[in-house]
Amino acid sequence: MASSDPLRTEINFDGIIGPSHNFAGLSPGNLAATRSRGLTSNPRAAALQGVAKMSANLALGLRQGILLPHPRPDHRWLAGLATDFATAPAHLQAQAMSASAMWAANAATVSPAPDSADGRCHLTVANLATLPHRSHEWPETLAQLRLAFANPAFAVYGPVPAPFGDEGAANHMRLAATHGAPGIEIFVYGVRGGPFPARQHFDASQAIARRHRLDPARTFFVQQSEEAIAGGAFHNDVVAVANGKVLFAHEQAFAEKDIFYERLRAAMPEIEIVEVPAASVTLADAIASYLFNAQLVTPPSGEMTLIVPEEARETAPVWNWLQAHIAGNGPIRRLETVDVRESMGNGGGPACLRLRVVADPATIDPRFLVDEARLDRIEEVIAAHWPDAIQASAIADPALVAQIESARRALLEALGIVELIDR
Active site positions, annotated? 167, 235, 352
The long-range contacts involving 260-263, CB below 8 angstroms and separated by at least 24 positions, are 260/220, 260/222, 263/220
CA nearest to 142, candidates 237, 64, 70: 70
Judged by DSSP in three states, 306 sits in strand
In total, the chain counts a number of residues equal to 423
- Tell me, what DSSP letter sits at residue 356? E
Cα distances from 365 to residues 62, 157, 272, 357, in angstroms, run 18, 17, 35, 13
3-state SS record for 335-361: EEEECCHHHHHCCCCCCCCEEEEEECH
CA dihedral 289, 292, 293, 299 (to 10 degrees): 120
Identify which of 58, 151, 56 has the alpha carbon closest to the alpha carbon of residue 370: 58
Query: 44 and 34 in contact (C-beta within 8 Å)?
Result: no
State whether the Cα torsion 9-173-50-412 is positive or negative: positive
